[in-house]
Chains A and B, each alone.
Chain A
């Protein structure tokens, strides 16, 4: 029989994942690994880890990894990529990391058109610290620091990072995907591959925003969390490609 699926070599076999059951970080990091392998880029890969639950994978991935201070991944990636243009550099950041504490670093790197890739894992909550309000928490969605739910009068509205960065001229590729069903998982992997390819071609800033679940802090079982993505998250965060300059180049 032909073997049609195998575990990515970019995840060490003897290590155990620290993610909660049903956490989509593990899906995204698997897709990143598969993309690297399929593009033959593993030996050039540098992951700049944000601070958050994404830090739970640094122990078991098999390529280079550096932990940035909370929010500073885009600054750290700038330093690495500018001095090592041959490396494949990507940040891996949550919504608190990328869109709150790191907002200045994120927007500024995108505006400079830095030639690296952001994998922005948006689960609408601060996972690692136990479910506090994030800039991307939905209106009405409860958080431990917004016990009555997000109230626009007090907290404002969810931030749409693809749309915000799409206001800038420099970014080359911006796409929002999800991992809530097999088709979207494939789309996420293709988007990651596209972003990595553009980076290796020297095209400039690329970001894939992945809408993911945090069953633990959403207080939902993993399957219900998939429904929540479909019914609540995706209407607020429409999937699709916001910017692909290769199309304009023809």
Chain B
């Protein structure tokens, strides 16, 4: 496996192709235009299909169709476009159709700003559409992680027949970094994945009342609908054990910085500089923001930890709500925030940490 130097958006697109994604539909929006651009030339090379949808709404519904017909499928967008995808994502969740989508998040609300932000946290983790469904939400902090998470997302989506969201941001998308790309699935492997879905895929079946494919994103029967939601809830509970966080220098820490995605990476760098100055700082960086890695906060020695510093590129703070639920009042939580497309300043994080430790 070779190391290459790639932009985040294109690396994610290539990772999807290597994972066996053979259908992509999307609509242009900054800062992720390279995803559709890259895939418009790459997918035909591997016998895949690219469609520029007439909107995000159409694109996600094309993905719903392609995925319901058995093909590994993906769409991507950025914040305002992700809002429009909520209809199709909810349909996929309800009908249990596996699909992957990616948010290279930008400033908001409204049309917001085209620069990176983390304002979509609650939408991503709590309510990406109507109906109270959940789905795995993976939050990369490097281009390498974005690649690995995208590759894994397709397996997770297929295993549990669920949508999976990659919650990235404009920094991850536009930054170039060296990455090791995952192995390319062979045509035979891709065909075998599609074949394995043939039983339920909506592609036509012999006239046999028992075995037709019936993709149902809802139910006329209230009993059946309740049963679907009970089954889904059991699935969501089973994900708890798959929660993952990076725990860095937490063992002897007196102050814990916590952040996800690009803010997590900046916070980690701040931890190193604080340590160099003799301040015992540590980091918890959730890699899955749903399921949320509560365990990482439970493991802390609250006899030692003076405070937790929540670092996010969002005003108001949103990620802090999950941190708060994980910490359960065991120590104070402070915030270090920026918004509007401004990138978190490491100096600001260090200053905020020092203020807590001095105060």
A is bound by B: yes
Whether the Cβ atoms of B57 and A72 lie closer than 8 Å is: yes
Q: Does A139 contact B (CB under 8 A)?
A: no
Q: B57-76 CB contact bits vs A (8 Å, 1 = yes)?
A: 11101111111111101000
Given A48-B65, A87-B203, CB of A79 within 8 Å of CB of B212: no
Q: Does A68 contact B (CB under 8 A)?
A: yes
Q: A71-82 CB contact bits vs B (8 Å, 1 = yes)?
A: 010011111101
How many chain A residues have a CB neighbour from B under 8 Å? 34
- B-facing residues in A115-165 (Cβ within 8 Å): none
Q: Does B88 contact A (CB under 8 A)?
A: yes
A-B contact count (CB 8 A): 136
Name the distance in Å between B17's Cβ and chain A's nearest Cβ. Answer: 15
Q: Does A24 contact B (CB under 8 A)?
A: no
Segment with Cβ contacts to A, from B47-55, B146-154, B246-254: B47-55
Whether the Cβ atoms of A65 and B58 lie closer than 8 Å is: no
Name the distance in Å between B92's Cβ and chain A's nearest Cβ. Answer: 10
How many chain B residues have a CB neighbour from A under 8 Å? 43
Whether the Cβ atoms of B54 and A64 lie closer than 8 Å is: no
Name the distance in Å between A76's Cβ and chain B's nearest Cβ. Answer: 4
Q: Which residue of A lies closest to B48 (CB)?
A: A83
Q: Does B303 contact A (CB under 8 A)?
A: no
Whether the Cβ atoms of A88 and B61 lie closer than 8 Å is: no
Whether the Cβ atoms of B69 and A79 lie closer than 8 Å is: yes
Segment with Cβ contacts to A, from B119-127, B215-223, B329-337, B350-358: B215-223
Q: Does A63 contact B (CB under 8 A)?
A: yes
Q: Which residues of A contact B59 (CB under 8 A)?
A: 75
Question: Complex Cα distance A19/B314, Å?
Answer: 51
Whether the Cβ atoms of B204 and A87 lie closer than 8 Å is: yes
Q: Which residue of A lies closest to B63 (CB)?
A: A79
Q: Does B37 contact A (CB under 8 A)?
A: no
Whether the Cβ atoms of B213 and A65 lie closer than 8 Å is: yes
- B-facing residues in A99-127 (Cβ within 8 Å): 104-105, 108
Whether the Cβ atoms of B61 and A75 lie closer than 8 Å is: yes
Question: Complex Cα distance A44/B212, Å?
Answer: 11
Whether the Cβ atoms of A65 and B69 lie closer than 8 Å is: no
Q: Does B319 contact A (CB under 8 A)?
A: no
Q: B290-329 CB contact bits vs A (8 Å, 1 = yes)?
A: 0000000000000000000000000000000000000000
Question: Complex Cα distance A105/B66, Å?
Answer: 16
Whether the Cβ atoms of B73 and A66 lie closer than 8 Å is: no
In the complex, given contacts A46-B213, A78-B51, A80-B202, what are 7 additional A-B residue pairs having Cβ atoms less than 8 angstroms apart? Answer: A63-B205, A65-B213, A65-B215, A66-B202, A75-B59, A76-B68, A104-B58
- Identify 14 residue pairs between A and B in the complex whose beta-carbon atoms are under 8 Å apart, listed by A's number: A64-B203, A72-B58, A75-B57, A75-B65, A76-B68, A78-B51, A82-B23, A83-B22, A83-B23, A84-B69, A105-B54, A105-B61, A108-B53, A108-B58
Interface residues of A (CB under 8 A from B): 9-10, 12, 42-46, 48, 58-59, 62-69, 72, 75-80, 82-84, 87-88, 104-105, 108
